[in-house]
């Protein structure tokens, strides 16, 4: 196709014309800058003169900014996309899109790309603050890659969650509620499952198949589907001198419920998170496109 | 050649039968009036023809393509104007058309000129840069029509385009549609007001409760309904005898005795399908037969009434 998806241009054009985009970006940066400032003021007082303070402050600043950024992306993204398709329905323009030559896939992708373009602006707007922590010290390029990897993966996956509910729901409010509900379920549900499993297995004889590489991979995918957990695990792995891309699973690791059958090496938690996010997004986008297709008679 | 054919099209919404084995045929080049009261199934039919709804039974072909098997080809052949006008906040009139031009893959070179041509055609050239939201209802309606034509479809499907318009805007819309008809477009247009359409349509179909009542060229339908008139005859005297006399007349299809407004008065209604000469003969005959005729009047036999009669006669 010679031209870009017309939905992307229209979305960006009408979105950038309203005040909402500026308010969102300003609010986002406002919260992050405020947190950074408070943190800086509180630590700068305590550690005057300490030669090691620099890297410690830099690292703390980096962690806090990344986590606050991740919280904001996790909350803003789904709200952003949840209104997109159901909004067309409410404005009674969805029928016009469906009866055009845009395929349902193009409609969904157009909405996604427009939202991601905006999310990318949000995420990249953190870069200057992160670079401050980088200059203070204590932060490696690997840390920055992990941080942006988790932010991007979460932005994509949660945008797809919002879009999915948007393609099914009848009202924007319902779609937004369902999208946020799903995300809260993931963020609370994964730690809940891990804790429950931890309680259940402690002090018991476990079946040996749990040591199979496939079982370990599945368990790792579940744990790493939580972006905050994946972020923390990856950063700690790096800080302990680990590799940016790979993590060996040894018998002491929380990923190994029983003694692994043999040496197992998995992608780093943040890469696992990226995998889960890509896979989840792909499934949800397919389902969204299908929801827009009323009359295709499938064989 | 028919551009739209439906065969036993059926649409079930739970227990409601919105369309009941509807078979239609719209010849290419026709201006096809699709008429029925509220809830008759007009919108449902149009949504099936525009690939928005999957029928629960039967088949529909548009421009030779089956709507559920080849929706993309159907969409390319049809311009649809729904009964609601969807607006995008923050878009200007030309941007609105340009956006749909892209959505129909109209080449960029052609689009710029096309948008202006269409705005000109629907009389909105002066509103080119106005926000869509700021346009009046009638203007939005015309913009919507321009949108439906952005990909130069063979067939326009317009769902109650005149609803909510003032008389002047209706006339303008009618002129516009005539122009489009003259350009050779096939137009399917729905309404629950027959008079609104009869003048500009070449064909008419009347549906009620999902069933087709009549369909065909407009003159034929008019002729067949207008050929018979309803006469109201007020008399004094023996109503029963007058009724018997009327029923004996060959041009009287049916006659009935209504209670009159006074004890010795009666009103007879006769369904009469003779011509003017036959009607004159009937009046003479009534007098000659010694019936005390007070007055004879022809019941108004306009399109509304035809519509009412046809739709009431349905079971
Ligand atoms: N999505 C739906 N779910 C359930 N019933 C529906 C749905 N759409 C239409 N119906 C029913 O189908 C019947 C036909 O509706 P339709 O909208 O086609 O009528 P219409 O001829 O367009 O009427 P109007 O003149 O009011 O626009 C009605 O009884 C309506 O209640
Ligand atoms: Mg309708």
Place of tokens 């805007």: B169
Q: Which residue has the higher pLDDT, A16 or B169?
A: B169
User: Is A249 strand, coil or helix?
Assistant: strand
State whether A294 and B99 contact (CB < 8 Å). no
Render pLDDT for A222-262 as a digit per residue (tens, 0 to 9).
999 999 999 999 999 999 988 999 998 877 777 777 778 77
Domain that holds residue A11: 6-296
State whether A295 and B53 contact (CB < 8 Å). yes
Residue A1: pLDDT above 80?
no
Distances (CA, A) of A191 to A223, A278, A298: 8, 21, 40
Which tokens is A229 given?
């957990």
Render pLDDT for B141-155 as a digit per residue (tens, 0 to 9).
999 999 999 999 999
Render pLDDT for B38-52 as a digit per residue (tens, 0 to 9).
899 999 999 999 999
pLDDT of A2 reads: 46
- CA A268/CA B179 separation, integer angstroms: 67
H/E stretch holding A266? strand A264-267
Distance from CA of A16 to the nearest CA of B (A): 9
- CA A164/CA A285 separation, integer angstroms: 7
> Averaged over A91-99, what is the pLDDT?
93
Mutation probe of ligand 1 site: the residue of B36, B40, B196 with most atoms within 8 A of C-beta: B40
Q: Is the distance from the beta carbon of residue B311 to the nearest atom of ligand 1 less than 6 Å?
A: no
- CA B102/CA A14 separation, integer angstroms: 16
Residues of A in contact with B78 (CB under 8 A): 99
> Averaged over B175-192, what is the pLDDT?
90
- CA A260/CA B258 separation, integer angstroms: 98
Q: Which residues surround ligand 2, an ion (CB under 5 A)?
A: B 42-43
Q: Is the distance from the beta carbon of residue B38 to the nearest atom of ligand 1 less than 6 Å?
A: yes
pLDDT of B224 reads: 64
Place of tokens 């079930």: B12
Spatial strand order of the sheet with B16-27 comes to: B16-27, B2-13, B57-62, B65-66
Which backbone phi and psi does A246 adopt, to 5 degrees?
-125, 150
> Averaged over A266-275, what is the pLDDT?
96
Query: From its phi and psi, is residue B28 left (phi > 0), alpha (psi between -120 and 50) or beta?
Result: beta
Q: Is the distance from the beta carbon of residue B43 to the nearest atom of ligand 1 less than 6 Å?
A: yes
> Averaged over B243-248, what is the pLDDT?
90
**B51 in reach of chain A (CB within 8 A):** yes
The model carries a pTM of: 0.84
- CA B292/CA B94 separation, integer angstroms: 71
C-alpha A125 chain-centroid distance: 16
Residue A97 is nearest to which of B69, B84, B103, comparing CB atoms?
Answer: B103
pLDDT of B305 reads: 61
Nearest to A28 by CA among A156, A124, A115: A124
State whether A10 and B88 contact (CB < 8 Å). yes
Among protein residues, the one whose CA lies closest to atom 19 of ligand 1: B39
A45: pLDDT confidence band, cut at 50, 70 and 90? low
Which tokens is B151 given?
């990909």
Pick the CATH number of B2-224 from 3.40.50.1100, 3.40.50.300, 3.10.580.10, 3.20.20.10: 3.40.50.300
Q: Are A31 and A68 in contact (CB under 8 A)?
A: yes
ipTM: 0.84
State whether B99 and A10 contact (CB < 8 Å). yes
Q: Is the distance from the beta carbon of residue B36 to the nearest atom of ligand 1 less than 6 Å?
A: yes
pLDDT of B163 reads: 83
Residue B301: pLDDT above 60?
no
Residues of B in contact with A3 (CB under 8 A): 102, 108
Render pLDDT for A158-211 as a digit per residue (tens, 0 to 9).
999 999 999 999 999 999 999 999 999 999 999 999 899 888 887 777 888 888
Nearest to A43 by CA among A27, A68, A18, A64: A64
Number of domains comprising chain A: 1
Render pLDDT for A25-41 as a digit per residue (tens, 0 to 9).
888 889 888 988 888 78
Does some domain include residue A1? no
- List residues bridging with B17 in a β-sheet: B12
> Averaged over B174-197, what is the pLDDT?
87
- CA A112/CA A159 separation, integer angstroms: 7
Q: Are B299 and B279 in contact (CB under 8 A)?
A: no
Ligand 1 centroid distance, CA of A266 (Å)? 57
- Return the HEC string of chain B: CEEEEEEEEEEEECCEEEEEEEEEEEECCCEEEEECCCCCCHHHHHHHHCCCCCCCEEEEEECCEECCCCHHHHHHHEEEECCCCCCCCCCEHHHHHHHHHHHCCCCHHHHHHHHHHHHHHCCCHHHCCCEHHHCCHHHHHHHHHHHHCCCCCCEEEECCCCCCCCHHHHHHHHHHHHHHHHCCCEEEEEECCHHHHHCCCCEEEEEECCEEEEEEEHHHHHHHHHCCEEEEEEEECCHHHHHHHHHCCCCEEEEEEEECCCCCEEEEEEEECCCHHHHHHHHHHHHHCCCEEEEEEECCCCHHHHHHHHHHHCC
Looking at every residue in chain A, the average pLDDT score rounds to: 87
Which positions ≥6 away from A222 have C-beta within 8 Å?
A: A190, A193, A194
Ligand 1 centroid distance, CA of A277 (Å)? 41
Q: Is the distance from the beta carbon of residue B49 to the nearest atom of ligand 1 less than 6 Å?
A: no
Nearest to A96 by CA among B51, B114, B45: B51
Q: Is the dihedral of CA B43, B219, B154, B117 positive or negative?
A: negative
Looking at every residue in chain B, the average pLDDT score rounds to: 88
Percent of chain A surpassing pLDDT 90: 53
Percent of chain B surpassing pLDDT 70: 92
> Averaged over B253-258, what is the pLDDT?
83
- CA A139/CA A134 separation, integer angstroms: 5
Which backbone phi and psi does B231 adopt, to 5 degrees?
-105, 135
Distances (CA, A) of B109 to B98, B101, B232: 11, 11, 66
Q: Are strands B2-13 and B57-62 parallel, antiparallel or unpaired?
A: antiparallel
Nearest to A235 by CA among A111, A148, A131, A115: A148
Distance from CA of A212 to the nearest CA of B (A): 47
User: How is chain B split into domains, by residue range?
Assistant: 2-224, 227-299
Does some domain include residue A237? yes
Spatial strand order of the sheet with B292-298 comes to: B252-259, B265-272, B229-236, B292-298
pLDDT of B78 reads: 97
Mutation probe of ligand 1 site: the residue of B9, B13, B33, B48 with most atoms within 8 A of C-beta: B13
Atom in ligand 1 nearest the alpha carbon of residue B14 = 4
pLDDT of B313 reads: 54
Residue A298: pLDDT above 50?
no
What homologous superfamily does CATH list for B227-299?
ACT domain (3.30.70.260)
User: Is A256 strand, coil or helix?
Assistant: coil
User: Is A247 strand, coil or helix?
Assistant: strand
Mutation probe of ligand 1 site: the residue of B9, B35, B36, B41 with most atoms within 8 A of C-beta: B41
Does some domain include residue A97? yes
Ligand 1 centroid distance, CA of A183 (Å)? 37
Q: Is the distance from the beta carbon of residue B44 to the nearest atom of ligand 1 less than 6 Å?
A: yes
Q: Are B201 and B32 in contact (CB under 8 A)?
A: yes
Which backbone phi and psi does B119 adopt, to 5 degrees?
-60, -40
Nearest to B125 by CA among B133, B117, B136: B117
Place of tokens 């692994």: A260
Q: Are B209 and B37 in contact (CB under 8 A)?
A: no
Percent of chain A surpassing pLDDT 70: 93
Q: Are A52 and A94 in contact (CB under 8 A)?
A: no
Of A7-21, B162-176, B294-308, the range with the lowest mean pLDDT is B294-308
């Amino acid at each position: 196709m010679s031209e870009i998806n017309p939905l992307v241009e229209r979305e960006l054009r009408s979105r950038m014309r309203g005040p909402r985009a500026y308010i969102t970006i300003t609010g986002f940066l406002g919260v992050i800058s405020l947190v950074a400032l408070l943190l800086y003021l509180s630590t700068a007082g305590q550690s005057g003169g300490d030669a090691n303070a620099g890297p410690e402050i830099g690292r703390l600043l980096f962690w806090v900014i990344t986590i606050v950024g991740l919280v904001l992306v996790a909350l803003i993204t789904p709200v952003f996309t949840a209104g997109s398709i159901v909004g067309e329905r409410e404005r009674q323009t969805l029928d016009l899109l469906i009866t055009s030559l845009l395929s349902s896939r193009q409609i969904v992708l157009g909405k996604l790309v427009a939202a991601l373009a905006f999310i990318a602006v949000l995420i990249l707007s953190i870069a200057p603050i992160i670079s401050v922590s980088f200059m203070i010290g204590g932060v490696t390029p690997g840390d920055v890659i992990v941080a942006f990897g988790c932010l991007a993966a979460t932005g994509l996956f949660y945008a797809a969650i919002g879009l999915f509910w948007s393609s099914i729901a009848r009202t924007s409010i319902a779609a937004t509620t369902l999208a946020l509900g799903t995300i809260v379920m993931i963020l609370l549900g994964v730690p809940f499952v891990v804790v429950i499993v931890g309680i259940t297995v402690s002090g018991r004889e476990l079946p040996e198949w749990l040591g199979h590489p496939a079982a370990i991979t599945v368990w790792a995918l579940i744990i790493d589907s939580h972006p905050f957990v994946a972020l923390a695990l990856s950063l700690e792995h790096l800080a302990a001198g680990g590799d940016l891309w790979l993590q060996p699973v040894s018998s002491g690791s929380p990923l190994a419920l029983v003694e692994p059958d043999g040496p197992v090496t998995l992608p780093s938690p943040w890469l696992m998170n990226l995998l889960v996010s890509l896979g989840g997004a792909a499934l949800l986008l397919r389902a969204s496109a299908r929801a827009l297709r009323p009359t295709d008679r499938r064989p | 050649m028919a551009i739209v054919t439906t065969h036993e099209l059926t649409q079930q919404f739970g227990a409601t039968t919105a369309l009941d084995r509807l078979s239609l045929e719209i010849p290419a080049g026709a201006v096809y009036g699709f008429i029925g009261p509220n809830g008759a199934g007009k919108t449902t039919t149009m949504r099936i023809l525009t690939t928005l709804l999957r029928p629960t039974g039967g088949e529909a072909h548009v421009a030779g393509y089956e709507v559920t098997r080849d929706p993309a080809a159907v969409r390319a052949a049809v311009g649809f104007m729904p009964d609601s006008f969807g607006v995008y906040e923050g878009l200007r009139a030309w941007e609105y058309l340009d956006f749909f031009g892209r959505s129909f893959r109209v080449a960029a070179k052609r689009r710029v000129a096309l948008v202006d041509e269409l705005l000109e055609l629907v009389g909105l050239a002066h509103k080119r840069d106005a926000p869509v939201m700021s346009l009046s209802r009638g203007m939005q309606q015309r913009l919507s029509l321009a949108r439906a034509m952005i990909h130069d479809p063979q067939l326009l499907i317009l769902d109650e385009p005149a609803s909510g318009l003032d008389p002047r805007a209706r006339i303008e819309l009618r002129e516009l549609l005539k122009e489009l008809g003259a350009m050779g477009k096939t137009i399917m247009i729905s309404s629950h007001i027959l008079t609104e359409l009869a003048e500009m349509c070449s064909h008419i179909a009347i549906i009620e409760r999902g069933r087709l009542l009549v369909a065909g060229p407009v003159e034929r339908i008019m002729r067949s309904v207008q050929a018979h008139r309803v006469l109201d005859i007020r008399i004094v005297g023996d109503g029963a005898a007058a009724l018997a006399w009327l029923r004996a007349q060959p041009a009287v299809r049916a006659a009935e005795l209504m209670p009159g407004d006074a004890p010795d008065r009666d009103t007879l209604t006769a369904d009469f399908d003779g011509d003017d000469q036959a009607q004159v003969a009937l009046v003479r005959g009534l007098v000659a037969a010694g019936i005390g005729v007070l007055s004879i009047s022809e019941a108004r036999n306009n399109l509304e009434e035809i519509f009412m009669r046809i739709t009431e006669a349905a079971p």
